[in-house]
Chain A
Amino acid sequence: MVTRPSLFRLMALVAVIALALSSCTSAPAPAPAAPAATSVPAAPPAAAKTGAKTLTVAQDTDPGTADVQLTTEEYFLPLNLYDRLVEAVTTGPLKSELQPGLAEKWDVSADGLKYTFYLRKGVKFHSGDVLTADDVIFTFDRMLDPATKALNTDFLDMIAGAKERMDGKATSVSGLKKIDDNTVEITLAAPFAPFLANLATPAGSIYSKAATTKAGKDFGTKPVGTGPFKLESWTPDSELVLSAFDDYFRGRPKFDKLIMKVVPEPQTMALMFKKGDLDVFDLDFARSQIPEFKKDAQWKDRIVSGPRVGTYYMSINQAIKPFDNPKVREALMYAIDRQTLIDKLYYGTGIPAKGILAPGLAGYNDALPGFKYDPEKAKALLKEAGFANGFEMTLNQTTDSPTTLKMNEAVQAMLAQVGIKAEIKQMDSAAWSGTRKEGKLGSYTSSWSADYNDPDNFIYTFFAPRNSVSRSWNYQNKAVQDQLEKARSMTDMAARYKLYQEIEKTIVYEDFAFVPLFHLEHLFVVQPKVKNFKPSWNGWSNMPYYGIEISD
């Protein structure tokens, strides 16, 4: 008699699970109780309108936070939700310039210390509040407030009093001053020519004081900005829906919704694009697909390519013998076949590098001669240096980077051609960065891309005395160091850029301290309905989508 009930109960269990399943799936996006899905004042559902124009893009990880002060990587939200005092705008191929943003104009004092910003009047936040000087000062102070635990402080720490604020020795930043509701005066601790370029990075995004204070810890998911889009909903690890902000001060975007899908698997992303689920496919997520798209009749004309303002290079540690010998360093320049690296590893989507600065960066010098691949010359130089039979060196990398390994293997083979025996040493990232920080790491291949459009961002990063050690170059040239400091404080930009070009020439063509490898293109494929798609000036994957139009 017990048989029937127990089997029945098993079936009941199945039924319960089925029920649980159906109730879960009918409302997969977190219900109101779930704190993650944010709803900025329930916008009228634009999708309900017939013919709502939508742009759908994808990336492989969830941005995590909309608070740009807490991330140095996730700029999709900041670039579309907020504005900055000054904006870096792409003005042509390889060209960008600083244009007025929330500040309609600004003055810089003759000594390069005082910046006065005149704010645009009547700019509205998504919350309806009007932008004032208080918002600007609040935003910058928040970045430097130790309670924020911000990651992007590098962009503001040159302001007078910033260090004291960060160390908790002051409750405000002495260099931030409100003149009136529409005027802000910022004083720097020392002249820093790239300051404006700094403010034009995502890190310079301006928040609403009222909304940010009100959201408190939730600001990362309840952002309020002045930007062209506002956040409508966010299902973590799944998708973010942004909608056009009607009161945007430059005019409402020409499409209604911007959807960012989070798709971790690149093959999946490619299929979704081909099926039409995505409007833009960033080929950085699946470089191996580049040849396929280039061959495909349907897509080959839909590929949009933009420069990536970044440089791939090989480092040389001059504290390690025989790299103290300039002839040896010069030999390295000719021993590497840059074009082959580009063709074999990056499907031909790049150009050989001639210096430190990348095309598209202010101050880039196209007139540099570059180094031709010439193994015979490299051998001759080694012979001259007393290493006719070559020598042994290391190429260092972290264990978790197969792309770097491929590159290092190729470089290793090229060096072998001229008699240099390079050993590839893989170590965990903590050991790698620890050794590098001490200035004891042998050569490594890496890349640097522009944070802000100024040569200082490249050359100072590598070769300021402290950085030269902590990045394991150990390149010491007093003249170069003095020039680098001088260039930081110059206000005549044309003269500044010229000085940087001289510095670059000294480092690469006289001291042979930096082995330029190549610059890569950034490729996207876009659906025919997407008009006016332009990769941003720096070639980042995260870009502002404001200028795009969607045809019917």
Chain B
Amino acid sequence: MMLKYVFRRFLQFIPVIIGTTFLTFVLLQVVPGDPIALMMKEHISPDVVERVRKEMHLDDPWLQRYVRYMWDAAHGDFGESYKTRRQVADMLATAFPATLALTAASLLVAWGVGIPAGIVAAIRPYTPADHALTTFALLGVSVPIFWLGLIFQLVFGYKLNLFPISGFKGVEYLVMPAICLGLGSAAVIARLTRSSLLEVMNADYIRTARAKGLRDRIVLVRHALKNSLLPVVTVMAIQVADLLSGAVITESVFGIPGIGRVSVGAIQRRDFPLLMGSVIMTVVLVVVGNLLADLSYAYLDPRIRYE
């Protein structure tokens, strides 16, 4: 049953991928900027641009190029980047581990900070601890990542010399970026956990559990928390997409060689094959994230079954 469901969800990939790649391709035709000219910058020579455009088949009609691209992609050939002339698949494979590490680390921050903070606020509502959380959550969602990143670098990287400022050579390089990127999500999760838990705490079955004489802690962990986490999981799935887009900025500020950096460069240089490749990859990640969230419902709530 479950396998069938997963398979069906994978089939849904196909229209999503076609839709997003087509949209991206059309957008790329509309926005101005010639990839060869952009690559040559100041030392542009019209003759060279003309010749290389022809050699790269950039003068063919765009629909023809799109169909050819998708045909090749379906056969596993994602083309080569205009700038590096390397296989797009290789470039993305090289960049992926860094993004994965960053996203996973910031998810840890988001959950590790968000859920406990939400619980504390919910079991002691309207206390100073709760107000502190509300303030933290407001800051967390409103502070821009790049600003926070620069402040972190200045304070913890430069003045206090606790962490490396930029680069990606070990776990210590991930601490500041993960906190920067994860804090916004942590704030959202904390708020959500709090309100969801408060709601659940008023439910009849909690009263029943208490009436049975169970200890507060057991009531909280076994009865309340599990039920209140359901909406939190939904949000977490959406946040995979959020974190990925935030990773673009975080990677630039902290010099992490991930997918975000590859995409930004590809956009700036109108490096079509590279950009198409990173769009496809991002779409797949987001869809898989959503799928994982859907599946985790079944674990959290046995009443949910996939037919």
Question: A residues within 8 Å of B by Cβ?
Answer: 2-4, 6-7, 9-10, 13-14, 17-18, 20-22, 24-26, 28-30, 34-37, 61-62, 64-65, 67, 70-73, 146, 149-151, 153-154, 166, 217, 220-221, 235-239, 261-265, 267-268, 271-272, 274-275, 277, 428-431, 433, 437, 447-449, 451, 470
Contacts and interface: CB of A to CB of B under 8 A. Distances in A.
B101 A28 contact: yes
8 contacts: A6-B299, A18-B108, A25-B174, A28-B169, A67-B85, A220-B86, A239-B167, A264-B255
Interface residues of B, number: 79
Contacts of B257: 235-238, 262
B179 interface: no
B226 A7 contact: yes
B181 interface: no
A25 B257 CA distance: 12
Given A22-B171, A264-B255, A272-B166, 12 more contacts: A10-B229, A24-B98, A25-B105, A35-B94, A64-B83, A72-B39, A72-B40, A151-B36, A154-B48, A237-B262, A237-B265, A274-B158
Main SS class of interface, B: helix
A146 B55 CA distance: 8
A542 to B, nearest CB: 13
B97 A35 contact: no
Contacts of A262: 255, 257
A476 B85 CA distance: 41
A20 B255 contact: no
B85 A65 contact: yes
Interface in B80-128: 81, 83-87, 90-91, 93-95, 97-98, 100-101, 104-105, 107-108, 111
Interface of B: 31-34, 36-48, 51-52, 55-56, 81, 83-87, 90-91, 93-95, 97-98, 100-101, 104-105, 107-108, 111, 146, 150, 153-154, 157-158, 161, 164-171, 173-174, 221-223, 225-226, 229, 252-258, 261-262, 264-265, 296, 299-300, 302
Nearest to A19: B104
Nearest to A437: B46
Contacts of A13: 296
A62 B104 CA distance: 25
B96 to A, nearest CB: 9
Nearest to A451: B43
A136 B265 CA distance: 33
Nearest to B268: A61
Contacts of B98: 24, 28
A72 B85 contact: no
B150 A267 contact: yes
Contacts of B52: 149-151
B51 A21 contact: no
B39 to A, nearest CB: 7
B94 A37 contact: yes
Contacts of A9: 299
Nearest to A20: B104
A325 to B, nearest CB: 30
A119 to B, nearest CB: 28
A271 B165 contact: yes
Contact of A264 (B56, B261, B300): B261
Nearest to B93: A34
Contact of B94 (A4, A36, A154): A36
The CB with the most chain A CB atoms within 10 A, among B45, B154, B255, B302, is that of B255
